[in-house]
Structure 1
Amino acid sequence: MKALVLEKTRHLSLRDIELPLDLRPDDVKIAIETVGICGSDVHYYTHGRIGPYVVEQPMVLGHEASGVVVETGTNVRHLKPGDRVCVEPGIANDKSRATRLGLYNLDPEVVFWATPPVHGCLTPLVIHPANLTFKLPDNVSFAEGAMIEPFAVGMQAVTKARVTPGDVALVIGAGPIGIMVALAALAGGCSTVIISDIQDQKLAIAASYDGIVAINSREDDLGAFVGLCTDKWGVDIVFEASGHPSAFNGIFEFIRPGGTAVFVGMPVEPVSLDIVSAQLREVRIETVFRYANVYDRALALVASGKVDLKPLITETYAFGDSVQAFERAAEGRPRDIKLQIRLGKDAR
């Protein structure tokens, strides 16, 4: 089959590659329709590695996917050929200690699409476990279905934050994940979400949603703005979603006594934290790695209309233009939130 293959750093090919398509009893075969380009895909393209995960051989990219079931294994009952679906891309060992604790995202043996050496889904057909494949309601498009994966990260962050209705939150970083976190926080009960960034175009997109207040932290004093919004009390929750090392400087000063900090973004280098500042407020610290047990709820929120992800889709490319799509993603244009690639029937 044809696939978008990362040959090595900064070298992509759209070419034929042999991929396994053996259907086991608990699997489904899926014709991929839409795939979103994630920051991790771009990072593998530009740097060839993320932490301990190093691209050492050609790898198919992509893990944010929707599609159509074309065949089911003999044990599958809840899906049938023709069903429109989205896919949770991490396959854990169901017998591991992490999985038995409900933390399957932390299973050391997890197999996650487009994480070396595992191939991703930018190819016309894939095999995947049926229990990680979710039927799309009729009112959810393939494009929205492919957005459930990044939205699940926001759902995980909000779940870890233990939002109380009426909370005020601050999200640092208005990239795709930052905005997903903000939308999940509103859906989870926050009355207001302040979102900060240094790119006005991204902030304008975030501020188009009711309940989100945007601030350019390069031009304005974020601490003073938080104080103004909270009568100098501080926000209930800070979500750090940028991963930029400088974002951690003074981060606990935005939080009210007894509040929460949730670290979502992954810094590319070690960062320093003012632990005393956290202790003086008894800040609860939570961290996020992907997601677990939230995919169905993320999909339900989109289907209900409570969360609208459509404004975050900046542009869609044809499968034949996948290389150009990644070249654009690597540019990091300020107005781009989510680029997608549509495979459709022509790719098959």
Structure 2
Amino acid sequence: MILGHEASGVVDAVGADVTHLRPGDRVCMEPGIPDFRSVETLRGMYHLDPAVRFWATPPIHGCLTPTVVHPASLTYRLPDSVSFAEGAMVEPLAIGVHAAAKANIRPGDIAVVTGAGTIGMMVVHAALAGGCAEVIVSDVAAEKLALIDRLPEVTTVDARSQDLAKVVAERTDGRGADLFLEASGSSKPHETMIDLVCPGGRIVLVGMPAAPVGLDVVALQAKEIALTGTFRYANVWDRALKLLGSGRIDLKPLISGAFDFADSVAAFRRAAEHRPDDVKLQISL
């Protein structure tokens, strides 16, 4: 099976009815192709279409090939200031932007993000771009925390040696965070997330635990906390590209290495090492 679902490239040819793209355009591609006639698509939730065909999700092949044929409506021109390497990062960034949109961020909010992996970092960037004054990020990987700690609005918490609840209380004068965005996929944050959120706050679930988790419904109700889940993204790729093009979000520090296609095996071997300071490795054709 051909892998790959995060990509950028150059338009080789367009269909007769395509007017917004032309050969030679630098582009990135949204990898989920829905049934454009489905109820979900017509309601604007095309990412939830049960028939969606998503690159590198069996049995659909991915994009690690010299060429792909892709719907023009899911293909986006890169701003001149955005490199191909950054363009290939729009897919995970879109997950963060979608989560930030679901969070209904208000200017000056303080957010907690659990998980400083690739998706967690994208959520942090999107939350800050969306108006958060501060994001408190918790993880067990010091190397990942060091990467995101470069942002002045970020407070990092090493969950191995620090108490997240104590830090949140200190940073919010005991009130609790306005937002809680879970991006680790671990079940542990679910045990305390309600306690960390202020009355009337919001919780957005981005990570997916491997098994069902419990929820204190009464505690959620007593604080009137809004809880929502997210799945991939919809209608945010243009916004993600604008944030990159304007310089509001800089993803270059998260590109840990680049390999030629001929060295793809070495790239996958590197990825399999799970180096603690690696975020994204890229292959160029």
The one-letter amino acid of 2:60's match is V
Query: Unaligned 5+ residue runs, structure 1?
Result: 1-58, 344-348
Alpha-carbon deviations, 1:4-47, whole Å to 9, x = none? Answer: xxxxxxxxxxxxxxxxxxxxxxxxxxxxxxxxxxxxxxxxxxxx
Question: Alpha-carbon deviation of 1:105?
Answer: 0.4
Identity of aligned residues (%): 55
State the alpha-carbon separation in 2 of the partners of residues 216 and 234 from structure 1.
19
Match for residue 335 of structure 1? 277
The answer to whether residue 245 in structure 2 is matched with residue 303 in structure 1 is yes
Query: Which one-letter code corresponds to 1:341 in the other structure?
Result: I
Runs of 4+ in 1 over 4 A off after TM superposition: none
1:66 equivalent in alignment to 2:38: no
User: 1:331: how far off?
Assistant: 2.7
Verify: 1:156 aligned to 2:98, yes or no. Answer: yes
1:210 aligns with 2:144: no
Tell me which residue corresponds to 2:32. 90
Is 2:76 aligned against 1:134?
yes
SS at structure 2 position matched to 1:126: coil
Counterpart residue number, 1:273? 215
Q: Does 1:197 align with 2:139?
A: yes
Shift of 1:168: 0.4
Find the counterpart in structure 2 of residue 321 from structure 1.
Answer: 263
Distance 2:194 2:187 in 1: 14
Q: How far did residue 125 of structure 1 move?
A: 0.7
Which residue in 1 is equivalent to 2:235?
A: 293
| Aligned match for 1:283, one of 209, 220, 225 | 225
Q: How far did residue 273 of structure 1 move?
A: 2.0
Give 3-state SS (helix, strand or coil) of 1:316's partner.
strand
2:12 is paired with a residue of what secondary structure? strand
Residue equivalent to 1:9: none
- Give aligned pairs, total: 285
Q: TM-score, normalised by structure 2?
A: 0.98
Contact 1:250–1:274 (CA under 8 A) maintained in structure 2: no
Alignment match, 1:235? 177
CA-to-aligned-CA distance 1:172-211 (integer Å, 9 cap, x gap): 0000100100000000000001111011110000010121
Task: Find the residue that maps to 1:238 and give its secondary structure.
Answer: strand
Matches within 5 A, 1:100-179: 100-179=42-121
Give 1:327 shift.
2.5
Structure 2, unmatched stretches of 5+, are none
TM (norm. structure 1) is 0.80
Note the C-alpha offset of 1:212.
1.1
* Residues 172 and 247 in structure 1, CA contact (< 8 A), matched pair in contact too: yes
Shift of 1:265: 0.5
Shift of 1:276: 2.5
Amino acid at match of 2:241: L
Instruction: Determine the structure 2 residue equivalent to 1:80.
Output: 22
Q: Which has the higher strand share?
A: 1
